[in-house]
């Protein structure tokens, strides 16, 4: 069984070597679509061109590829507005992140070469903790990341994700998510300079009850659970390994996202964070959209499964017993995703990883 409140930072990471950005085209679409919110937040900030360092951050950056277009646009606008201020771009993620690939992506690509007086750094600090010296972050951004919990509050019986948990188990995950969200926001309030802005684009549950991969067709997390349970039933993995496989994620509703900002006696309001904007959006799965145009089920399956694997593999790998040899672990994971690909290829209708996000902007008073 999964230990109560087990920490997750030791194993969580996106698939490295550039795999994540190549596979998760939809995540880039989500961030590109949020660029206007970031620029609007910058407009409201109206920063002075006073010669001091201006710091921007991408928190939960993975390999930096999905946010690169937005970052280039925003840094370019900052340079236009603030010709005298040195710019500092800081990428943050967990220690196991592929930071070498990050620097190859953001610096080796040449996309930032035209932005003068720019320094680029990285931090391996969890966004559940303070990352910057107090009051030094001017513009913070995070996308498709803050749904990860800092701990696993309890095992999920009969499923791999909190969306399929029993009522009591789900309540424990919601509470863990509440505590983590409050901690994330108070940490960012500590990081932010007065007048600074946060633009947070998080997986969540929208007003219609939709969430990632569950927008009316085949439920992606239910399919994950079905295929993982089949491996258990076939003896490929043990019952303990199945039970130990829990996505360390909490999908929050819009009300749950906004709640810390409306509590006058709470730590978030007390730290000076004010909610400026909140909305939900659904961004269609690009591979399902393309399938609707080309109609090739084999191509759809071949292109679709890597985007699922890029972020989910770490969770399934973590559920496997550490005593299993590396080759055996890889064979199990390959079999799992190959089976998913076969299901999609054989019966493609309804499969899609549509992105459901809450888009939130907050200001530090």
Q: What would the pLDDT profile of 163-192 be if each residue is shown by its tens digit?
A: 999 999 999 999 999 999 999 999 999 999
Instruction: Yes or no: say if 245 and 318 are a contact pair by the CB < 8 Å rule.
Output: yes
Q: What's the CA gap between 276 and 261, in Å, rounded?
A: 10
- Structure tokens, 12: 């969580």
Residue 72 lies in a domain: yes
Domain count, the chain: 1
- 3-state class of 179 per DSSP? helix
Q: What's the CATH number where 28 sits?
A: 3.40.50.150
Residue 19 lies in a domain: yes
Domain that residue 54 falls in: 6-213+247-286+353-364
Residue 53 lies in a domain: yes
Residue 190 lies in a domain: yes
Q: Within a 10 A sphere around the Cβ of 120, how many other Cβ atoms? A: 18
Residue 18 lies in a domain: yes
* pTM value > 0.85: yes
What pLDDT, on the 0 to 100 scale, is given for residue 120?
98
pLDDT at residue 9 greater than cutoff 50: no
Mean of per-residue pLDDT scores for the chain? 93
Read off the pLDDT of residues 225-243 as tens digits, 9 standing for 90 and up: 999 999 999 999 999 999 9
Residue 71 lies in a domain: yes
What pLDDT, on the 0 to 100 scale, is given for residue 109?
87
Residue 87 lies in a domain: yes
Q: Where are the alpha helices (DSSP H) in the chain?
A: 19-23, 25-45, 68-81, 99-106, 167-191, 220-233, 239-243, 254-262, 267-270, 286-294, 297-319, 326-346
């Amino acid at each position: 069984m999964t230990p109560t409140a087990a920490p997750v930072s030791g194993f969580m990471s996106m698939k490295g070597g550039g795999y994540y950005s190549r596979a998760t085209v939809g995540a880039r679409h989500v961030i590109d679509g949020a660029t206007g919110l970031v620029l609007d937040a910058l407009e409201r900030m109206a920063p002075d061109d006073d010669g001091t360092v201006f710091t921007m951050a991408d928190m939960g950056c993975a390999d930096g590829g999905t946010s690169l277009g937005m970052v280039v646009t925003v840094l370019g606008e900052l340079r236009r507005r603030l010709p005298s201020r040195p710019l500092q771009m800081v990428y943050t993620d967990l220690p196991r992140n592929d930071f070498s690939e990050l620097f190859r992506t953001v610096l080796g690509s040449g996309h930032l070469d035209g932005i003068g007086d720019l320094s680029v750094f990285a931090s391996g600090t969890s966004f559940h903790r303070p990352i910057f010296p107090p009051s030094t972050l001017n513009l913070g951004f995070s996308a498709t990341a803050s749904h990860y919990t800092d701990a696993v509050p309890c095992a999920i019986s009969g499923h791999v994700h909190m969306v399929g948990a029993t009522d009591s188990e789900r309540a424990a995950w919601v509470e863990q998510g509440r505590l983590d969200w409050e901690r994330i926001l108070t940490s960012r309030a500590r990081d932010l300079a007065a007048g600074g802005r946060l633009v947070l684009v998080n997986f969540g549950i929208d007003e219609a009850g939709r969430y990632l991969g569950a927008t009316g067709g085949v439920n992606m997390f239910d399919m994950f659970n079905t295929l993982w349970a089949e491996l258990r039933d076939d003896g490929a993995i043990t019952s303990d390994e199945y039970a130990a496989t829990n996505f360390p994620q909490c999908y929050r509703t819009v009300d749950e996202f906004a709640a810390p900002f409306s509590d006058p006696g709470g730590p978030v309001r007390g730290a000076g964070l004010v909610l400026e904007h909140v909305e939900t959006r659904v961004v269609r799965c690009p591979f399902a959209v393309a399938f609707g145009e080309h109609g090739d089920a084999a191509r759809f399956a071949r292109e679709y499964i890597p985007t699922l694997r890029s972020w989910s593999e770490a969770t399934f790998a973590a559920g496997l017993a550490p005593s299993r040899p590396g080759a055996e672990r890889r064979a199990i994971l390959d079999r799992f995703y190959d089976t998913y690909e076969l299901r999609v290829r054989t019966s493609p209708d309804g499969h899609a990883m549509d992105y459901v996000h809450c888009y939130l902007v907050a200001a530090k008073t």
